Chains A and B, each alone.
Chain A
Amino acid sequence: MAELRTQQAPAVLVRLPTVLTILFPGAPPRVELRAGTVAEAIDGLNQRWPGMGDRIRDSSPAIRRHINIFVDGRKARLETKLEPGVQMFVLTAISGG
């Protein structure tokens, strides 16, 4: 049922930062997938590159504190809905020293 829902979900473009893709050999900076929400998009990424979901989302579950996800120019949450053709940006926040 979940698979059927994903098949029917909108096609979206996910943009990933290099600092994330280098952790998963072969992962490109732009990924097309079908997802109705940010959480489903993260699930889709994790399906293709096992473990990538853990890097973006913690066990709360929530988007990690120093990761920002933007959809349509606005900061998103896991439950944020994705419209067809939208771009979802995964970005690392400014942190570290």
Chain B
Amino acid sequence: MGQRILVLVGTKKGAFIAESDTARRSWRLRGPFCETWPINHVVADPESGTIYGAGGNEWFGPAVWKSTDLGETWTHSSDGLAYAEGQEPIKAVWSLGVRDGRVYAGVQPAGLFHSDDQGQSWTHVEGLQRHPTRPEWSPGGAGLILHSLVLHPDDPGKIWVGISAAGVFHTADGGETWETRNRGTRADFMPEDQRYPEFGQCVHCLVMAPGRTERLYQQNHCGMYRSDDGGRRWDSIEAGLPSSFGFPAAAHPRDADTLFLLPLNGDIKGRFVPDGKAAVWRTRDGGASWQDLRRGLPQENAFFGVLRQAMATDRLDPAGVYFGSSGGALFASADEGENWDCVAQHLPSILSVETLVVDR
């Protein structure tokens, strides 16, 4: 039986789906979906094929969109997706994750919800709000957002979240209690003697290595890091990169030592790809060394960025790698980053990229 690869794209004005066969040479684009709402993250439940889109509309507030027919039709719901009366209302849904049918949603202002009925209704994971550091959380440039959701593949109690700019938090009991997991990550924007705080770091993206659940990678506003103990201790792996600043990180589907990054030129110079030349950077050894991958990517006058959720891999072999730019271009590689093609352009600013492989 043949397979189809769907690249799920969230943009500032709707969701899109780029589709190909396993060769990943020619692509067909569908969209915009979700009534052109800003869609921060689009993910799929690999078991059911259900696609979820996280969004927030300036007029109508937050909602999670859903399609059970691979994007042909969509519905939305925000039933239960609210804090208590009197608290700051939820502005948008920023991140989604699915594990064993349960859907998780990270929101702005930072909080976590889950749904056990495929997104029809939502329940607040209140434990995160009870963390003693909660009153001191400060927003990052995009607001106080819970943008990274890492779900342990085997242990339903274990979740890691990344919050800008509060840092990484971990629960081992399904969300009742949480602890900070930021030791070793820098906060260069703090006074000199306070640059390694317990919390308050500006984590940009958090991913788990495949088959090695204690290994996490983190792109931070201030550096690139790896942890081999579930985030208790982080070590810098930024040596060899053109910049310590970037947003996305994408893990390989099978190799725990392989990771893809897209460093930008720093936080005060436009946040473009360095020198106007686009490159994905790959490590094959857990961050000990890095290789720039440029073939097929723009090598002059490229002034775009790539946001925190806008790079992904697929599960095919060799793995596909994808990223979407702030300028609305979607790039794809079918050979683990060696060669690249622009498979869609002139889209709205791309906020997220994820993949789904389905049997025809």
Interface residues, chain A, with chain B CB atoms under 8 Å away: 19-20, 22-23, 50-51, 54-56, 58-61, 64, 66-67, 92-93, 95-96
Which of A58, A93, A95 sits near B61, CB closer than 8 Å? A58
Q: How far is the CA of A43 from the CA of B85 in the complex (A)?
A: 16
Q: A51 near B86 (CB under 8 angstroms)? A: no
Chain B residues with Cβ below 8 Å from A59 are: 82-85, 87, 89-90
Which of A23, A51, A58, A66 sits near B58, CB closer than 8 Å? A66
> Is B3's CB within 8 Å of the partner chain A?
no
Q: A55 near B85 (CB under 8 angstroms)? A: no
Interface centre among B58, B63, B79, B84 (most CB of A within 10 A): B58
Which of A23, A64, A66, A93 sits near B76, CB closer than 8 Å? A23
What secondary structure prevails in chain B residues at the interface with A? loop
Interface residues, chain B, with chain A CB atoms under 8 Å away: 35, 58-61, 63, 76-79, 81-87, 89-90
Q: A60 near B85 (CB under 8 angstroms)? A: yes
With contacts defined as CB atoms under 8 Å apart, how many contacts are there between chain A and chain B in the complex?
50
Which of A58, A66, A67 sits near B89, CB closer than 8 Å? A58
Which of B59, B76, B85 sits near A61, CB closer than 8 Å? B85
Across the A-B interface, give the 10 residue pairs with the lowest CB-CB distance, nearest first.
Answer: A58-B89, A59-B82, A55-B60, A59-B89, A92-B59, A95-B58, A54-B78, A66-B59, A66-B58, A60-B89
Q: B35 near A23 (CB under 8 angstroms)? A: yes
| Closest B residue by C-beta to A93 | B59
**Can you list 23 A-B contacts (CB < 8 A)?**
A19-B35, A20-B59, A22-B35, A23-B35, A50-B79, A51-B79, A54-B63, A54-B78, A54-B79, A54-B82, A55-B59, A55-B61, A56-B60, A58-B89, A59-B82, A59-B83, A59-B84, A60-B86, A60-B89, A64-B60, A64-B61, A66-B59, A96-B58
Give B89 Cβ to nearest chain A Cβ, in Å. 4
Chain A residues with Cβ below 8 Å from B78 are: 51, 54
Q: A51 near B76 (CB under 8 angstroms)? A: yes
